[in-house]
Amino acid sequence: MLGDNIRRYREKNKLTQKELAKKLSTSERQISRWENGHLIPSLDTIDSIARVFGVTIFDLLAEESTENEEGQDEEHTNMGNEDQPEGEEVTVDRLNEKIKSLSNEVEEIYRMQIAGMIAEVELLIIKQKRRRILNFVFLLIILIAITVIVYLSRFHPSWFPEVVTRAKRI
């Protein structure tokens, strides 16, 4: 849905993925991922995309949007009343349903962003734990090496003749 709308508005504005990527300061691959539904852009990015296309965020998030002959979105012409036959009035209930639908989509985007942030934080925590463990292991190895050297120099002086002769001089 969002990806299809991004593609549709990009094509409507006669932009290539590369040109859109340049306007949004992102990569062509990222645009492709959005259009194919593999990734969902952040809300800030959705806002930027909407500005580039000269539409609202709600236009990008709309479920269906077909264009009439004048190039206007029927959503705007019908005020979100695409499912009802012509001639019927737009009802407050119908508009509330549309707003609720869009609110749910925005909420889902927020949930996905929060889940992504939580995953990033968990990854950072894991990396920090690994780093601490590696530092501990490294220090432990150094401590063991020093202990072995001291032990061998005291109890096996023949293995370290230079250390023993220097120690006797002092």
* 161 vs 74: CA distance, rounded Å: 93
- Averaging pLDDT over each range in 17-31, 81-95, 122-136, which range is the top one? 17-31
CA 92 to chain CA centroid, Å, is 36
Give the pLDDT of residue 67: 47
Averaged pLDDT for residues 47-65: 80
Residue that wins the pLDDT comparison between 19 and 114: 19
The alpha carbon of residue 127 and the mean position of all alpha carbons in its chain are separated, in whole angstroms, by 19
**166 compared with 94, residue with greater pLDDT:** 94
Q: What is the DSSP letter of 103?
A: H
At 64-113, the pLDDT tens digits run 544 443 444 444 444 444 444 444 455 677 767 777 777 777 788 888 88
Higher pLDDT: 133 or 44? It is 133
Largest Cα span, the chain? 110
CA dist., res. 49 & res. 20, Å (int):
9
Q: Which residues, including other chains, have CB under 8 Å from residue 28's CB and lie 6 or more apart? A: 17, 18, 21
Nearest to 4 by CA among 81, 52, 60, 76: 60
pLDDT, position 72: 47
CB 156 within 8 A of CB 164: no
Question: Quick one: how far is CA 28 from the chain centroid?
Answer: 16
Q: In terms of Cα–Cα distance, which of 3, 61, 63, 2 is closest to 32?
A: 3
Q: Return the CATH superfamily for domain 2-138.
A: lambda repressor-like DNA-binding domains (1.10.260.40)
Considering the chain, what is the average pLDDT of its residues? 76
